[in-house]
């Protein structure tokens, strides 16, 4: 099968061609089986072809495959927004809009923020990833490969260090950098919003410092700055809770949703305080495919499966298995390249570092190949591409999870 018609600017992690999947397992076109610790990069918290999601897609496909909501509303969109409003764990009335992706949700959030505040400046964080569209590129806290050769980006956007126990940046250091930013670079009164991931995804599964999150919320309240939480990868149960911001003891003003919102069907959303979501003029929000009926049906089935009891059980089971294995590997001195365990809940990363503590991206590249040959798919992350991203479906069978961790263990031992 030729790939000559596909842009060579798309980077491929695993040079295979997948044919089908079931929960946490996939098969390529040669029939080889793999355990999937990638999960579509966080899209498949319910696994491949979840029966409830598949049934909802089939049923909806016999009723209405598409209608542009801004031309004529349809019931799946309305029902999903009602369900999402009840699913978001905040105390204020929630309103929102559906999009085609997480990046599109971020783009619309920037429009909403500008309309509500009359300001344009945005503050994001080092290591952040919010999308690949032109505006979201500027939010990303990493140049290569996303910002290379694309020229001047929409702005103004400023970046601060991301404070986390996982990267060694303290709350005090981040606050000091913020003070410098407001003294040297921009007047705090010109800032429209902060946008932050409660747990960074592309950045290496770094969990945000709780003290900083609460200080940031206080600053935003004092200076009338809006706070956007990007839950595109950390949401929908990845950390064992509905959304990761809950562990921080704060409520964002806007929340970005995507990835696992619809069981593998493209969908995103921006939701938040109703007054913010309603501030733009009629026609200021919308999109031809945004909130497609089939995607909405898949999302409704996803919410049916994501009860708090299920999320807690799935998250606790996966977290215990990963943390237990990691601690055993450390005590056994399994590999000289085994670094820190990052993240929280079932959203975990494993650092690969050299003896002096510097990142070991070459060993991660080796690990990807060794694991793939042994039947396990892994995903890299981190500024230096040196952190393994563990994104097995939350619904993975315990025996399959153990099998995958066995493969990872064997491959870590082989690193040179």
Strand (E) positions, 199-336?
Answer: 199-200, 206-207, 226-230, 254-257, 268-273
pLDDT by residue (tens digit) across 198-245? 999 999 999 999 999 999 999 999 999 999 999 999 999 999 999 999
CB 184 within 8 A of CB 329: no
CB 57 within 8 A of CB 298: yes
Q: Say what the pLDDT of residue 139 is.
A: 83
Domains of the chain: 53-305 (3.40.640.10), 308-414 (3.90.1150.10)
Residue written as token pair 């940046």: 169
pLDDT by residue (tens digit) across 35-67? 999 999 999 999 999 999 999 999 999 999 999
What is the rounded CA–CA span in Å between residue 228 and residue 249? 15
- Which helix (DSSP H) or strand (DSSP E) does residue 191 occupy? strand 191-196
The values of phi and psi at residue 8, to 5°, are -75, -5
What is the rounded CA–CA span in Å between residue 66 and residue 85? 23
CB 392 within 8 A of CB 312: no
Q: Say what the pLDDT of residue 149 is.
A: 47
Q: Say what the pLDDT of residue 3 is.
A: 78
Verdict on whether the full-model pTM lies above 0.85: yes
CB 24 within 8 A of CB 401: yes
- Which helix (DSSP H) or strand (DSSP E) does residue 342 occupy? strand 338-344
What is the rounded CA–CA span in Å between residue 239 and residue 235? 7
| Mean pLDDT estimate for the chain | 94
Q: Say what the pLDDT of residue 353 is.
A: 97
Tokens for 235? 């949401």
Tokens for 360? 């070991």
What is the rounded CA–CA span in Å between residue 62 and residue 82? 23
Q: Say what the pLDDT of residue 313 is.
A: 96
Residue written as token pair 């949700």: 105
Q: Say what the pLDDT of residue 171 is.
A: 98
Tokens for 247? 């562990």
Residues of the chain with pLDDT under 70: 1-2, 141-155
Q: Write the CA distances from 70 to 76, 102, 285, 288, 291, integer angstroms.
A: 14, 20, 9, 8, 10
């Amino acid at each position: 099968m030729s790939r000559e018609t596909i842009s060579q600017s798309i980077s491929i992690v695993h040079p295979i061609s997948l044919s089908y999947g079931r929960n946490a397992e996939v098969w390529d076109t040669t029939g080889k089986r793999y355990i999937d610790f990638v999960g579509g990069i966080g899209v498949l918290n319910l696994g491949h072809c979840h029966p409830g999601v598949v049934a909802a897609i089939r049923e909806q496909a016999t009723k209405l495959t598409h209608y542009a909501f801004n031309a004529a509303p349809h019931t799946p969109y309305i029902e999903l927004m009602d369900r999402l409003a009840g699913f978001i764990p905040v105390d204020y009335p929630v309103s929102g809009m559906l999009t085609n992706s997480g990046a599109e949700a971020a783009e619309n959030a920037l429009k909403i923020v500008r309309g509500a505040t009359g300001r344009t400046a945005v503050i994001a964080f080092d290591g952040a990833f919010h999308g690949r569209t032109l505006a979201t590129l500027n939010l990303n806290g990493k140049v290569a490969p996303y910002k290379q050769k694309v020229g001047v980006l929409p702005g103004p956007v400023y970046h601060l260090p991301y404070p986390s126990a996982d990267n060694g940046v303290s709350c005090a250091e981040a606050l000091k950098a913020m003070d410098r930013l407001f003294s040297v670079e921009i007047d705090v009164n010109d800032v429209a919003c902060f946008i932050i991931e409660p747990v960074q995804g592309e950045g290496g599964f770094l969990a945000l410092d709780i003290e900083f999150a609460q200080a940031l919320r206080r600053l935003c309240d004092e200076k009338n700055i809006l706070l956007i939480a990007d839950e595109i990868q950390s949401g929908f149960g990845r950390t064992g809770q509905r959304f990761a911001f809950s562990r921080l003891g704060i409520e964002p003003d806007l929340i970005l949703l995507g990835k696992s919102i619809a069981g593998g069907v493209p969908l995103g959303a921006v939701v938040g305080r109703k007054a913010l979501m309603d501030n733009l003029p009629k026609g200021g929000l919308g999109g031809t495919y945004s909130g497609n009926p089939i995607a909405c049906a898949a999302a409704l089935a996803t919410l049916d499966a994501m009860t708090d009891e299920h999320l807690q059980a799935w998250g606790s089971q996966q977290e215990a298995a990963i943390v237990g294995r990691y601690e055993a590997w450390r005590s056994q001195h399994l590999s000289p390249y085994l670094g820190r365990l990052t993240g929280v809940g079932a959203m975990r990363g494993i650092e690969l570092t050299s003896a002096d503590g510097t990142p070991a991206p070459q060993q991660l590249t080796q690990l990807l190949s060794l694991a793939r040959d042994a039947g396990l798919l892994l995903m890299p992350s981190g500024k230096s591409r040196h952190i393994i991203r563990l994104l097995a479906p939350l619904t993975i069978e315990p025996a399959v999870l153990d099998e995958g961790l066995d493969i990872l263990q064997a491959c870590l031992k082989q690193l040179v």
